[in-house]
Structure 1
Amino acid sequence: MSDKLLDPPCAALGRLPAALVLLLAAASAFSVANVYYAQPLLDAIARDFSISLAAVGMVIAVTQLGCALALLLVVPLGDRLNRHRLLAGQLLGLIAALLLVGWAPSAPWLLVGMMLVGLLGTAMTQGLIAFAAALAPPQERGRVVGAAQGGVVLGLLLARTLSGALADVGGWRTVYFFSAGVTLVLLPILSRLLPAPRTVPSTLSYPALLGSMLSLLLHDRTLQIRGMLALLMFGAFSLFWSSLVLPLSRPPFNFTHAAVGAFGLVGAVGALAAVRAGHLADRGLGQTASGACLLLLTLAWLPLGLLGSGLVWLVAGIVLLDLAGQAIHVLNQSMIFSAHPQSHSRLVACYMLFYAVGSGLGAFAGTHVYAWAGWSGVCWLGAGVSLSALLFWRLTLRGMPDAAGKG
């Protein structure tokens, strides 16, 4: 892939061209969508492979296992290797993984394919986030990372809508064949248009690179605190989205996959919140915004729990949940990127390990709790996890470093 540098005028002005920021956001959206296509398809996958409703959450959990492996073993390479060549290899591998899922003849092959999709889709997505942070000058890093994360939000939410619509037309396997084609188109576009980042690659060996991640986890206080907030927040987020298809696909709703996936459109306002949150972090208001968003995340479960009283409550709850959750995600990343300019890939990998653990546990718990206690049980658990995140934020306010914890 190309190694061209940023144009001098852009560097002199201390800003990235809007078209480049848009490209990073769009590429992030397409890559992250692969990790979430399966969520509104779980009932169809369960029928196709004769998997119980309680156990089908393993499809999401094994995807998150792939995410964790990517964060541990692949994403940190962005600090050491040529980012363009690394990204090209990830795109080619992702195409192969998507085709494997589409052709999977049995449940074991499906799980292997989903793990690889989680691994490669996550590696590409987080590589692009770190790429955006490396390209952006410090004074607008929150804005650029927020824009890229806005693309991730749109990809995450629209993935459910797109996969539901495609599944209704051609079955759930069509979703993965379609995505393989989109990824193939994306490869030459990124190869031609992405510039080289400003940062100098690390000279650490691969084992030392991985070892430095442990050092960051053990000693970077901002990473520790914001990472735990991410674990709790994404646990609640995954718990909701992994379980939603189960009540909506049954009486009295009997919604199609396309209809269930369409609820992802409701949460698209979260992408706008994510961009705005980056601006707040740049102004030193990250902690104030974090407290407000965590409170909103907790309150969102009240209307979500009223699903039986009407869909309007579900819509209101989704707006609150996605707005709060994605804003927190951007605030977290803006804060952890405030130091260590040569470690952005490792920082995002460490941070997203918390995310992967939370998402995997949320998906696993959501389907099991629904089978045991129904939708009300899911909402009570989600509210408890969200409240725990709010309390943790309050208790750790004094422990945040000054540079990251202003506001």
Structure 2
Amino acid sequence: MPKLMVTLFSVAAGLAVANIYYVQPLITAIADEFHRGSGETSLIVTVTTFGYAAGLVFVVPLADIVDRRKLIVTLLSIVAVIQAVSAAAPSITVLTVVSGLVAASAVVAPIMVAFAATLAAPAERGGVTGRVMSGVLVGVLLARTGGGLVAQWAGSWRAVYVAAAVLMVVLALLLHRKLPTVPVGARLGYGGLLRSVVAIVREEPVLRLRCLYGFLSFAGFSAFWATTAFLLAGPPYHYGEAVIGLFGLLGAVGAYAARVAGRFVDRGWERWSTGALLLAVLLAWGLMAIDGGGALLPLMAGVVVLDLGVQGVQVANLSTIYALRPEARSRITMAYTGTYFLGGAVGSAVSGAAYAAGGWLAVCAAGAVFAVLALAIWAVQTLCRAR
């Protein structure tokens, strides 16, 4: 697979996934314009989350039965139109509804990852998957930071949606010209397609195992980001929103980890690299627990190690499961990302309850439990194979 084509996939996946994160730094500005409280305004984020989950379940599997190039271009065109509507939203109710529709249509990133895995040769699949995933991670980071910067520069949160709509139009035109047409592998009706996902999960133990790793690793990751703002806003840090947002840029290391993990998988080291990455996640929670989270350098080091471990596990998981059934990669993607997403929701809920009950150390304990469970499963699987 040519490097330029891999770069195109990486950039496209990042720009597509950014659409569901632009709103996060804009919440306060939206609340001020529509004179609404934080509870009502934060509902936009909740609806966006559920919309994306719906897209993962009902849209992503379509890539196994329709032309991927046409599906991707169509989805990006829909996103462009809806983002334009978001920019002109006359009320918070309209903005909330269209945010859910955008999220359901913006599931291009997982489709692009599976598409890249299909085009790549077996010997390079892990590396290619890692590079495309790095684009997804960078897209998430730049959406959160760039969205706030564009809104501040333009003087309006609406400018962010205008820019997003223009980007999607340009991206759709580019991908329409550059993406190859690949023959459809599966000949199924839509109902049969969704039912086949259940059959694939039942028949593939490796997929079930990797879904479990994804669930537990992303649960811990979400547990951290769900409550870190409370830690950084309180003593001894007293950071403002801008600094807390920039703190997330430490996650850029995860983009690098994604590429490195893919190379290890290509060399046949997926089992041992997974164990090492899960151990890194556990180490990260230990670092972030030092002095109750009050030591800045260990906390920053913990964030870097946590992101490296979680994103590395993500790439190892995807590279492994994409070798299972080439004709069903989009359905496999749906099964994995759905489980992964569910883990994030569980981790966020557990983290909120833990922080309310015992502060930051309780959050670290909860995250460590997720990591220990994943490591225990890995150890049992490794021992069973050794026998």
TM-score, with structure 1 as normaliser: 0.84
Residue 330 (structure 1) aligned with residue 340 (structure 2) = no
Equivalent pair of 2:251/2:303 in contact (CA under 8 Å): yes
CA distance in 2, matches of 1:229, 1:43: 35
Residue 278 (structure 1) aligned with residue 262 (structure 2) = yes
Aligned partner letter, 1:158: L
Give the corresponding residue for 1:139. Answer: 123
The residue correspondences of 1:382-393 to structure 2 (distance < 5 A) are 382-393=367-378
TM-align CA RMSD: 2.7
**How many equivalent residue pairs?**
382
Name the stretch that deviates more: 261-270 or 112-121: 112-121
Give the corresponding residue for 2:285. Answer: 301
Residue 77 (structure 1) aligned with residue 62 (structure 2) = yes
CA distance in 1, matches of 2:288, 2:30: 25
Equivalent pair of 2:217/2:371 in contact (CA under 8 Å): yes
- CA shift digits 1:234-290 (9 cap, x unpaired): 111122223333443456545444432222322212111111111111111001000
Structure 1 unpaired stretches of 5+? 1-15, 401-405
Flag the 1:351–1:19 CA change in 2: closer, same or farther, 3 A: same
Equivalent pair of 1:40/1:257 in contact (CA under 8 Å): no
The alpha-carbon deviation at position 208 of structure 1 amounts to 1.2
The alpha-carbon deviation at position 152 of structure 1 amounts to 1.2
The alpha-carbon deviation at position 139 of structure 1 amounts to 1.7
CA distance in 1, matches of 2:27, 2:377: 32
Name the stretch that deviates more: 82-91 or 177-186: 177-186
User: What SS class does the counterpart of residue 396 from structure 1 fall into?
Assistant: helix
The residue correspondences of 1:96-135 to structure 2 (distance < 5 A) are 96-104=81-89, 108-121=93-106, 123-135=107-119
CA distance in 1, matches of 2:356, 2:47: 20
Give the corresponding residue for 2:77. Answer: 92
The alpha-carbon deviation at position 321 of structure 1 amounts to 0.9
Give the corresponding residue for 1:51. Answer: 38
Flag the 1:62–1:266 CA change in 2: closer, same or farther, 3 A: same
- CA shift digits 1:124-181 (9 cap, x unpaired): 1111011101111212111111111111121123322223433544455544343233
Equivalent pair of 1:39/1:242 in contact (CA under 8 Å): no
CA distance in 2, matches of 1:103, 1:386: 44
Flag the 1:251–1:364 CA change in 2: closer, same or farther, 3 A: same
Flag the 1:348–1:308 CA change in 2: closer, same or farther, 3 A: closer
The residue correspondences of 1:132-211 to structure 2 (distance < 5 A) are 132-169=116-153, 170=155, 172-197=157-182, 200-211=184-195
Flag the 1:117–1:263 CA change in 2: closer, same or farther, 3 A: farther
User: What SS class does the counterpart of residue 325 from structure 1 fall into?
Assistant: helix
Give the corresponding residue for 1:358. Answer: 343
Structure with more relative contact order (C-alpha pairs < 8 Å, separation 6 or more): 1
CA distance in 2, matches of 1:87, 1:65: 21
Flag the 1:80–1:241 CA change in 2: closer, same or farther, 3 A: same
The alpha-carbon deviation at position 58 of structure 1 amounts to 5.5
Identity %: 37
Equivalent pair of 1:240/1:378 in contact (CA under 8 Å): yes
Name the stretch that deviates more: 274-283 or 297-306: 297-306
Match 2:305 to one of 312, 320, 332: 320
Aligned partner letter, 2:218: F
User: What SS class does the counterpart of residue 19 from structure 2 fall into?
Assistant: helix
CA distance in 1, matches of 2:384, 2:90: 51
Match 1:238 to one of 215, 219, 222: 222
Match 2:328 to one of 332, 339, 343: 343
User: What SS class does the counterpart of residue 244 from structure 1 fall into?
Assistant: helix
Residue 32 (structure 1) aligned with residue 17 (structure 2) = yes
Equivalent pair of 2:28/2:38 in contact (CA under 8 Å): no
Flag the 1:257–1:180 CA change in 2: closer, same or farther, 3 A: farther
Flag the 1:119–1:365 CA change in 2: closer, same or farther, 3 A: farther
Structure 2 unpaired stretches of 5+? none
The alpha-carbon deviation at position 370 of structure 1 amounts to 3.8
Equivalent pair of 2:76/2:172 in contact (CA under 8 Å): yes
User: What SS class does the counterpart of residue 152 from structure 1 fall into?
Assistant: helix
Equivalent pair of 1:41/1:257 in contact (CA under 8 Å): no
Flag the 1:399–1:215 CA change in 2: closer, same or farther, 3 A: farther
Match 1:221 to one of 188, 201, 205: 205
TM-score, with structure 2 as normaliser: 0.88
Equivalent pair of 1:49/1:106 in contact (CA under 8 Å): no
CA distance in 1, matches of 2:19, 2:268: 34
User: What SS class does the counterpart of residue 327 from structure 2 fall into?
Assistant: helix
